[in-house]
């Protein structure tokens, strides 16, 4: 009788272990990060589990709706965007980064997201186990460099060279890896960013692809910005590519003289550095302190 009970107990334990193993095998973890309040859900997708988790291909409605639900601040985890860290697709690259806005669609380059992803990737040991990690990563728009200091939690990423800046009487259009229409104002504290930003973002000029809209105040060579982000369709606490766009446009208008500046956002300060030859900008870098807020297990769709 005791033997029968013992073997029954062993059998239950065995199946319980198998059940736990299967849960572990198919579950997908996430980490929540932010840079100056611009926040992201980041997932290690090197084993390409995310599409199975979301229930469809990366272009499917199911995946888009799943990302929307995760980014929803009322019923989901809440974030401005979602980032997949995948295996590198270019030589000399340590990883590939895919960025989705909170609307669930793949978007262009994200500065704050890239810095957060660099910290996440480095914490996984992808760039070694030093206190200061550096290397390159690739996106759909090219190859970029990063550096992460774990002692200070400072992260830095490179951006694309910028040229073909378009100036009109109302603002400046510049592509810093993500398109921005930059509008200079004497003060930006009291403007309705969501209203004014949406009017420009959905105007006839930008109706085909849309644009981010960055409002800039530059007084005594000190830059402050507020950004309406395409894909979020609202103001975010900070925007990395928007900070870069503001700095470059301020330099173009000779409102700043230095090629290394701090940009104040609603969520904190971003640092931008660059080289300039006439109206062409190169060696552009964005730096910030990034924070890992928490981690968890992604819910099923």
Q: Report the share of the chain in percent with pLDDT over 70.
A: 89
Q: Do 151 and 241 belong together in one domain? A: no
* Domain count across the chain: 2
| Residue at 74 is within a domain | yes
- Residue 214 confidence (pLDDT): 98
Active site residue 36: no
Confidence of residue 299 (pLDDT cuts 50, 70, 90): confident
pLDDT of residue 207: 86
Among 7-16, 232-241, 260-269, name the one with the lowest average pLDDT.
7-16
Please count the CA atoms within 13 angstroms of the CA of 223 that sit on its side-chain side: 33
Can you tell me the distance from the alpha carbon of 21 to that of 18, in angstroms, rounded to the nearest whole number?
A: 5
Which has more pLDDT, 64 or 6?
64
- Whether residue 134 is predicted with pLDDT greater than 60 in this model: the reply is yes
Strand duo 222-229 + 234-236: pairing: antiparallel
Q: Tell me: do 145 and 183 sit in the same domain.
A: no
Cα–Cα distance for residue pair 254/114, rounded to 1 Å:
29
pLDDT of residue 1: 55
Q: Is 138 left (phi over 0), alpha (psi -120 to 50) or beta?
A: beta
Token couple for 114: 């890239």
State whether 60 and 125 are in the same domain. yes
CA distance 223 to 255: 9
pLDDT at 6 over 80: no
C-alpha–C-alpha distance, residues 148 and 85, integer Å: 16
Told to judge if 239 belongs to the known catalytic residues of this protein, a careful annotator would answer yes
- For residues 146 and 174, state if they share a domain: no
Query: Do 239 and 120 fall into the same domain?
Result: no
pLDDT of 8 above 90:
no
Tell whether 170 and 278 lie within a shared domain.
Answer: yes
Q: How far is CA 290 from the centre of its chain?
A: 11
Is 264 found in the same domain as 179? yes
**Do the beta carbons of residue 156 and residue 114 sit within 8 Å?**
no
pLDDT at position 300:
76
Mean pLDDT of 171-185: 98
CATH classification at residue 233? 3.10.310.10
Question: Is the confidence at residue 64, as pLDDT, over 60?
Answer: yes
Q: Are residues 59 and 98 in the same domain?
A: yes
Structure tokens at 53: 């988790």
**Residue where one domain finishes, among candidates 158, 182, 199:** 158
Residue 3 has pLDDT above 50, yes or no: yes
Residue 243 structural domain: 166-291
Domain-ending residue, one of 90, 125, 158: 158
Q: List, for residues 86-130, the tens digit of each pLDDT value.
A: 999 999 999 999 999 999 999 999 999 999 999 999 999 999 999
Residue 245, strand partner residues: none
Mean pLDDT of 43-69: 85
pLDDT tens digits, residue range 151-172? Answer: 999 999 999 999 999 999 999 9
Which one of 92, 123, 158 terminates a domain? 158
174 with 286, same domain?
yes
Rounded to two decimals, the pTM is 0.90
Residues 6+ apart with CB under 8 A from 140: 98, 106
pLDDT (tens digit, 9 = 90+) per residue, 18-54?
A: 443 434 445 799 999 999 999 999 999 999 999 887 7
The answer to whether residues 124 and 196 belong to one domain is: no
pLDDT of 209-261, one tens digit each?
899 999 999 999 999 999 999 999 999 999 999 999 999 999 999 999 999 99
Residue 96 lies in a domain: yes
Domain co-membership, 152 together with 193: no
- For residue 27, what pLDDT is reported? 77
Is residue 261 a part of any domain in this protein?
yes
Beta strands in the chain (DSSP E): 29-35, 38-44, 81-86, 95-101, 132-139, 142-149, 154-158, 166-167, 172-175, 179-184, 212-219, 222-229, 234-236, 260-265, 268-277, 280-297
Out of 36, 71, 110, 133, the active site residue is 110
Please tell me which residue in 36, 71, 116, 239 is annotated as part of the active site: 239
């Amino acid at each position: 009788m005791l033997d029968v009970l013992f073997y029954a107990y062993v059998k239950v334990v065995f199946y319980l272990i198998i059940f736990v193993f299967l849960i572990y095998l198919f579950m997908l973890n996430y980490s929540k990060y932010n840079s100056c309040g611009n926040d992201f859900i980041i997932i290690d997708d090197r084993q390409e589990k995310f599409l199975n988790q979301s229930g469809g291909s990366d272009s499917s409605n199911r995946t888009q709706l799943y990302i929307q639900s995760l980014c929803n601040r009322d019923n989901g985890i809440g974030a401005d965007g979602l980032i997949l860290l995948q295996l590198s697709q270019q030589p000399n690259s340590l990883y590939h980064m895919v960025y989705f806005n909170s609307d669930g669609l793949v978007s262009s380059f994200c500065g704050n997201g890239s810095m957060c992803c660099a910290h996440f990737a480095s914490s996984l040991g992808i760039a070694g186990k030093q206190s200061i990690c550096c290397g390159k990563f690739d996106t759909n728009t090219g190859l970029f460099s990063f550096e992460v200091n774990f002692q200070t939690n400072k992260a830095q990423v490179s951006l694309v060279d910028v040229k073909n800046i378009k100036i009109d009487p109302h603002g400046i259009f510049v592509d810093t890896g993500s398109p921005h229409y930059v509008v200079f104002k004497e003060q930006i504290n009291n403007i309705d960013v969501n209203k004014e930003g949406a009017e420009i973002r959905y105007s006839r000029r930008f109706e085909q692809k849309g644009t981010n809209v960055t409002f800039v105040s530059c007084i005594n060579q000190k830059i402050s910005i507020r950004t309406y982000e395409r894909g979020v369709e609202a103001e975010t606490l900070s925007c990395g590519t928007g900070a870069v766009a503001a700095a470059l446009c301020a330099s173009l208008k000779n409102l700043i003289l230095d090629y290394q500046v701090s940009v104040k956002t609603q969520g904190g300060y971003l640092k931008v550095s660059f080289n300039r030859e006439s109206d062409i900008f190169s060696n552009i870098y964005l730096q910030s302190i990034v924070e890992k807020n928490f981690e968890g297990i992604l819910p099923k769709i």
